[in-house]
Structures are given as structure tokens and as C-alpha cells.
Amino acid sequence: MNTVLDVRNLSVRFRSGGRLLSLVKDVSFSVSRGGCLGILGESGSGKSMTCKAVLGLLDDNFQAEGGVFFEGRQLLGENPETLRRLRGGRIGVVLQNPMSCFDPLYRIGEQMAETLGEHTSLGRRRIRERSAELLELMRIREPGEVLRKYPHQLSGGMLQRVMIGLALALRPSLIIADEPTTAIDSISRHSVMREFLRIKRTGETAILFISHDLGVLSCIADQVLVMRLGEAVESGPAGRIFDNARDAYTRRLIRRHKAVMSKFLAAVRQGPEAAA
């Protein structure tokens, strides 16, 4: 499998009143085409900071160092316009705070059309149809109406599903999904995960998937990286981490979530009705 994203010794610091706070410390990982790396870790452990550094989404108050190689090309220090074009194009992005990803002044349909227009060769009419199809795929009812709404008229879970639909539709080489299913109800979560799995099975996309939901993570990740206080404390094949973690913190984290994990896996395998 070839490496799509290779992160080497990534560190992120935050400038605060003349001091530098270390938020991510020397983290390395890679994700290959057709593979999925899951990042696990308690709240505040640096998962989102890591994603944002990779995507070039940190402002001047932050300092990122190390290597972020996307298809062999270093993204740290790359110009903002190039990074903007990659995001939503060859890199599909689903962020933890969906509201921040939409422009409050434009309707959902307009924003979807802009992305699809920029990154596909579809004509205007086909874009409208495709947008509605994507919403349906994400189990959004009455897609025509939703396309006419403004972001603030939709719930966080709905916006999250719009983002996921778009990220998956563009068949990017890399998908970075930061807690993509947290705001989504359990039934839709299963369909959304099935869509992620479908994309993974095409073998064309590398997926970086962040979640503190072990059930969700265990159904998609084949490699897992565990973060704590900005550091990578353990990494390896998902099966080994889930069943036989070396690190005591990881073992505790997994023990706490194991019951939920097996229930979720059973539901995804059986279909949405089983999860109700």
C-alpha cells in the first residue's frame, strides 16, 4: 500500500502571553491508500490540534514544526491558497465543529454547489441532483428543502452529515474526519459509518479518523494511535491495541469503552434496525 499522508515529528505550540505552550509533542504517523488510522485519546489530548496542523488550519498564534507530507509534498509552510484548494478537493475534511465549516450567509445548496463545481466537472443541473442524492445518502429527509436552508437553520448533526456527504462524494485521496459522528443520532451514525466503510473498501482513499467513540473507531480503523497530553503513547494494529495494549492508560481507556464497542459493531453489521 502506498503512503498518502506521512506525518513526521509534528509539534504544535501555542503562544500565550510571551510563553509557548506545547500542545502536540513530536507525533509521527502515516496513512496509506485503502487504510484507516484511528486516533484515540481523552478530551484535550491534542487530536484536533494534530488535524488542524496537518490541514494548515492554525492561525499565527500557533507554531507547527516537523513534516506533514501529503503525497510526498510538505504541507507545513505551504501557501494558504494551495492548502485551501487541497481541502475539500484532494483532501476531504470533516471537522469537529461543523458550524465553523459553513459560511452563515449562504444556503447549504449554494455551498455544496460551490464545492462540487470547483472539484468536479458536473454541470449545474447535475450538481443540484447530486447534492440532493448526497443528502439522501446521509439519511437527511427532504433534501430539496434542506438545500434551501442556511447553516443556522440546521442542527449540528445535520451539518455534520452534509460535510461527510461532500467529503465522501469527491473521492479524495485523503479524508480527515475529526469526530465526524458525535452530533449524529445512533441510527444515522450506522449509515454514515457504512458510507465511510464503502469508501474505504474502494481502496482509493486513505482515512485519518478521530473519535473517542471506540465502537465507531473499531469498525473502520486498521491502525490506531493513542494520544495523551499531546503525545503519542501507543500505536499499532487496531486488533492488538484493542485486545492487548501495552500502555496502561490505553488499557484503561479501552476497558471503559469495550461494552459500547461490541454493541456498536453488532449493530453496524446487522443494519440500522438492530441499533434502535
Ligand X SMILES: Nc1ncnc2c1ncn2[C@@H]1O[C@H](COP(=O)(O)OP(=O)(O)OP(=O)(O)O)[C@@H](O)[C@H]1O
Say how far residue 73 (Cα) sits from the centre of its chain. Answer: 20
C-alpha cell at 265: 459493531
Q: Site map for Mg ion, 70-109, x if CB under 5 A?
A: --------------------------x-------------
Pairwise CA distance, residues 256 & 25, whole Å: 26
CB-nearer residue toward ligand X: 39 or 174: 39
Residue 228 pairs in a beta bridge with: 231
Q: Is there binding between residue 41 and ligand X (CB under 6 A)?
A: yes
Neighbours of 16 (CB within 10 A): 9
206: left (phi over 0), alpha (psi -120 to 50) or beta: beta
- Report the site for ligand X in 8-27 (rule: CB under 6 A): 14, 23
Give the C-alpha separation, 120 to 178, whole Å.
Answer: 24
CB of 96 to Mg ion, least distance (A): 5
Give how many residues touch ligand X by CB under 6 A: 12
Distance CA 27, CA 50 (A): 8
Q: Of 38, 88, 1, 35, whose CA–CA distance to 201 is shortest?
A: 35
Distance CA 135, CA 183 (A): 16
Residues 187-216 that bind ligand X (CB under 6 A): 212
Which residue lies nearer to Mg ion by CB, 108 or 159?
159
For residue 271, the minimal CB distance to ligand X (Å) is 29
Partner from ligand X, Mg ion, none contacting 49, C-beta within 5 to 8 A by type: ligand X
Taking CB under 6 A as the binding criterion, the range among 42-50, 118-126, 129-137, 259-267 that sits at the site for ligand X is 42-50
Does 48 help bind Mg ion (rule: CB under 5 A)? yes
Residues that bind Mg ion (CB under 5 A): 47-48, 96
Residues that bind ligand X (CB under 6 A): 14, 23, 41, 43-49, 96, 212
